[in-house]
Structure 1
């Protein structure tokens, strides 16, 4: 397979004003995607795409550039305005559109932005499609004539439609009445949607991180900065707090005691709820970073965990390949494929809250069987040309530590995909042991190969 030049693991992303996040390139990108759509759509009428975005100031510029690119290729455009990434995926499928487009850099600061795409089924697109778009980008543009230009219009009540979808994933026999819930939307795409979903299901809602100004997305709020949520839960005497990231596909949760729960723990709660209902859970997909304590707790309940590469894209691919439904990663990207085709922070929050309401137990009680292993991560800077795989001292030390830990811990050594760093992670029942073992491995990694 050819190497992708522009697409990363989650679309195209970068600093606004630097290639490729510039209006001229994004116009060309829209045109190239439109050309690929037109070829696949021959004889079936004019293709239609939905464009949604988060709350970054640069979204206006990139939205206009994409719209022009699609129109110039003869593709119609629907504009939703600010909408969570999973909301774009849902509406693309529900409205029988040909493509969903999201302008967002997720949890990154406002100076970054990106473009990602969903298929007509609301799913991530395969590498082959991305390669076809990149090939089209190398071709000269083929502007359509005036009679063939695409039209653009606003999609009325996109947020309302998505709110109803989220509510429909929550049991009709339950409500959130009696619960005070703080919701933190990171000043991002869910700033209107998230409070409305919880309020309409009966909760007393306190909203923070819901006042975007184009510059404050993810700044001190949301899933990447959860202390604001912890403080607000305590201040308002709330039962729970829900934190999303800038495009609302990631979830962290806080209980009334101010305890923060990560994605690994929330995934376990979702699995346990299915098992309590008598539903089969043939397996769960995590990542290389999923906590060993969660894996062992699942195993005690007869549920195997398979580890994919880090990234929700790879978790999704593994779930689809195995025909399983539940997966996720510690950062809060959670997947319930019988509820949605992609990771959805609000839907995941509702699954966890539903489990507490159905069982009458708090999240801490639902996690009573799970003891997380302390993890130590050390980044080792690699020298130019250094091949850590051929480091005999590291290999020897890794074998020794593996023997010492046995089933009471594990090692993960992997190269960063973006920096000249080797990431050395050790987890063990004893945090001091994890720290000592990680330091031994890091020292060995720095030795000459």
Structure 2
């Protein structure tokens, strides 16, 4: 069957529109319950969420569907996505659910599923669940209806775990840190962790109202945090996104550093220490060519995957790698986490910063980037710009113009109605012309 619900990262869409309506999500939860009930055991599921107003609606719909299928539900409240992965495993739950649209605006939302090992469900499981939705699912007998428990210490559990990921060397006393939580899921957790580890914390983006998640703040809008670093003469700034599975770092000069530079720093450090498994970093096709060249100079290999942290994790698990991520700030360290974790990644950097006794800028400018341009072009639902012959011709012409000096990556976003037009080239002027031409053709077609 053609999959209609699941994309590259669970179920995504605009809240209260298909597929993120209460009735559809209730049906989805019932199908998930049917999927797990095949072994005739009593199952438990944990549900976390970010701070969007629509999370309450979706949480209640999922809870109704799960309990009607006989699953026991533990409601975690607002908690980062990696916290859901962690607690799914540590609580011996069969399923974890995170309700979030990550870095998207408040009017979007999504559902991410985690298996009992704390890793996201694979494509095969999602396809099977979607197929079950097409069937008539009988609710369980009244005596088998699931229970619902509000887990009041979920934040405390995650706080204590996050602190264990840095040793005594990671005590952050003496560091002044601007921390932008994007008015999202980490608004309580992240400031608490840094403060308990000794840092002086200047929090921003910690006043969610249901609508201001990611709005002018967080990893997608680091300008406010960068200014705060300068205003407060902070040592560093850390920006998380709405569900805290990605990170952007700001050095003491106010310069914004993306995931590629963070991964380069970690890969080099771990390689020197002999802890980088197979001496390999896993990154996506979006990562800068400069990162690959830098790692080659160190004798470190780099494996590229399709865009999406789930694909990074799939390769890491299959081949035994322990460090990977995305330019956007998802950094996956399977020694500590099962998915991208902005807070834990930030702690690793802060520990290195404290130990080095150097400014953040001296650590973070690891390699010289090849000029790269990314244009996000929004298109109307129901159109297919990349199938348009004119667009295809302009892309072919662009590839020919760049030749061996660069590369193009044109793709449809898996989470938003966007065409992402990315290119790299040593010739930055030529690159700008090529990207502009393609973006214009996509906009006219969409």
Measured in 2, the distance between the counterparts of 1:336 and 1:323 equals 12
Equivalent of residue 302 in structure 1, options 287, 293, 299: 299
Measured in 2, the distance between the counterparts of 1:170 and 1:206 equals 21
What SS class does the counterpart of residue 92 from structure 1 fall into?
helix
Shift of 1:423: 4.9
Measured in 2, the distance between the counterparts of 1:252 and 1:9 equals 22
Structure 1's 154 and 383: CA in aligned 2 closer, same or farther, altered over 3 A?
A: closer
Structure 1's 112 and 389: CA in aligned 2 closer, same or farther, altered over 3 A?
A: closer
Alpha carbons 1:50, 1:79 under 8 Å: kept? yes
User: Which residue number in structure 1 is paired with residue 105 of structure 2?
Assistant: 109
User: Which residue number in structure 2 is paired with residue 386 of structure 1?
Assistant: 388
Measured in 2, the distance between the counterparts of 1:264 and 1:211 equals 29
Measured in 1, the distance between the counterparts of 2:175 and 2:309 equals 30
Alpha carbons 2:257, 2:364 under 8 Å: kept? no
Measured in 1, the distance between the counterparts of 2:112 and 2:275 equals 34
Alpha carbons 1:167, 1:201 under 8 Å: kept? yes
Alpha carbons 2:13, 2:415 under 8 Å: kept? no
Measured in 2, the distance between the counterparts of 1:59 and 1:419 equals 18
Shift of 1:189: 0.6
User: Which residue number in structure 1 is paired with residue 29 of structure 2?
Assistant: 30
Measured in 2, the distance between the counterparts of 1:203 and 1:265 equals 23
What is the count of residue pairs matched by the alignment? 439
Measured in 2, the distance between the counterparts of 1:76 and 1:46 equals 8
Shift of 1:141: 2.6
Alpha carbons 2:246, 2:341 under 8 Å: kept? yes
User: Which residue number in structure 2 is paired with residue 330 of structure 1?
Assistant: 327
User: Which residue number in structure 1 is paired with residue 51 of structure 2?
Assistant: 55
Alpha carbons 1:242, 1:349 under 8 Å: kept? yes
Worse-superposed segment, 164-173 or 202-211: 164-173
User: Which residue number in structure 2 is paired with residue 402 of structure 1?
Assistant: 403
Structure 1 residues 33-432: aligned runs within 5 Å: 33-39=32-38, 41-42=39-40, 45-281=41-277, 282-377=279-374, 386-387=388-389, 391=393, 395=396, 398-399=399-400, 401-403=402-404, 405=405, 409-414=406-411, 423-432=420-429
Worse-superposed segment, 277-286 or 158-167: 277-286
Shift of 1:384: 8.5
Measured in 2, the distance between the counterparts of 1:316 and 1:36 equals 23
Question: Deviations for 1:73-124, whole angstroms, at most 9, x for unmatched residues?
Answer: 1110001111111101100101111100111111111112111110000001
Shift of 1:183: 0.8
Shift of 1:355: 2.0
Alpha carbons 2:7, 2:414 under 8 Å: kept? no
Alpha carbons 1:295, 1:305 under 8 Å: kept? yes
What is the TM-score with the length of structure 2 in the denominator?
0.91
Worse-superposed segment, 411-420 or 105-114: 411-420
Structure 1's 104 and 430: CA in aligned 2 closer, same or farther, altered over 3 A?
A: same
Question: Deviations for 1:199-243, whole angstroms, at most 9, x for unmatched residues?
Answer: 111101111100111111111111111111111111211111111
Using CA pairs below 8 Å that are at least 6 residues apart, which structure has the higher relative contact order? Answer: 2
Alpha carbons 1:383, 1:420 under 8 Å: kept? no
Structure 1's 225 and 387: CA in aligned 2 closer, same or farther, altered over 3 A?
A: same
Query: Tell me, which stretches of 5 or more residues in structure 1 are unaligned?
Result: none
What SS class does the counterpart of residue 425 from structure 1 fall into?
strand
Structure 1's 134 and 226: CA in aligned 2 closer, same or farther, altered over 3 A?
A: same
Structure 1's 402 and 119: CA in aligned 2 closer, same or farther, altered over 3 A?
A: same
Structure 1's 397 and 257: CA in aligned 2 closer, same or farther, altered over 3 A?
A: closer
What SS class does the counterpart of residue 119 from structure 2 fall into?
coil
Structure 1's 367 and 187: CA in aligned 2 closer, same or farther, altered over 3 A?
A: closer
Alpha carbons 1:394, 1:445 under 8 Å: kept? no
Measured in 2, the distance between the counterparts of 1:397 and 1:246 equals 35
Query: Tell me, which stretches of 5 or more residues in structure 2 are unaligned?
Result: none
Measured in 2, the distance between the counterparts of 1:7 and 1:155 equals 28
Alpha carbons 1:4, 1:130 under 8 Å: kept? no
What SS class does the counterpart of residue 183 from structure 1 fall into?
strand
Structure 1's 72 and 420: CA in aligned 2 closer, same or farther, altered over 3 A?
A: closer
What SS class does the counterpart of residue 401 from structure 1 fall into?
helix
Structure 1's 170 and 435: CA in aligned 2 closer, same or farther, altered over 3 A?
A: same
Please provide the CA RMSD for this pair: 2.6
Alpha carbons 1:273, 1:355 under 8 Å: kept? no
